[in-house]
A and B are shown apart, each in its own frame.
Chain A
């Protein structure tokens, strides 16, 4: 299945916009993605292995947190996963003018 990588995280997957993985569940797909790209893993998961609060993952148009089986949800090749991080748009470091 295809996993869509948002612009801010593409630097950790050799600048690819989508990564294709072989997986039977949402969890396996994410595992396959982060195993192949360990730098990305740090940005998606906390040290305790929880998905970070400023990143959401959608199976097609549905947030995986709201799927009945969550990460155990089975996936087909035609499904897609999207990683949607929060974006603010401009200055992130300070509110004061640079």
Chain B
């Protein structure tokens, strides 16, 4: 028993270098994959530290609603200066908690398909949800939800209650079909092989060949193209349009160093941050850096009709859409 705290101290001591005493520490809550060694976190922290005379500490605190839940648990006592990784399906709820303050930054020109005027949250990347398939395995690629329903193509989706893309798909169907959404889900039921709790299970089932298509992003094929030189993974383009995910960051009301937090949010929209995003987070940068997008991104299919609910509409639609989904898919 006595070795327990000792072992812990050794491991943690070896793993976490102590921040220098004279430098302020900027604490950023975000999701796990952002801070892993393959995510954007480590490079972005190093780049910001070059300019800020501070230490950046990322904390993996769950994604989507879980990230917001963590902040609500901690309330005014939170250590976080910045929360990075919410999306527009959540920003109405997040703003209503009063735990965030306006960023107060003059927003530079953004490369989003929609106008941006949120005073509290700033976007750092975005993408379109899409079903990804393997062209070497699937010929008759459906071009719409209705074509998908009429086909014999098998898909895997995520549970909207535990996965952010899962919630995105819910909003996608709702936005595209409104009152017809239950009917669409009813039709999709036969095509859905299973509903997974998150990304890993669904994408794994797709790569293992268990299903024809998996819910992902139009930018997901870029990983296979750039990192694996595999151009067979593609996103199916749907006539209804594709729902967008815009990922945002905001500064907390509890932060004791709002100036530092604000300077990070400003840095977030510069090339130093934005150029890291495409090949680590595999999303479109909110502001395309001067050198443009990495080679390979030009091959990605771009939906003709972007779909997006405003944060308020998304909040109001969420519970009813979830009920419809549950009713249609629970036999």
Asked if chains A and B come from one complex, the reply is no
List chain B positions with a Cβ less than 8 A from chain A: none
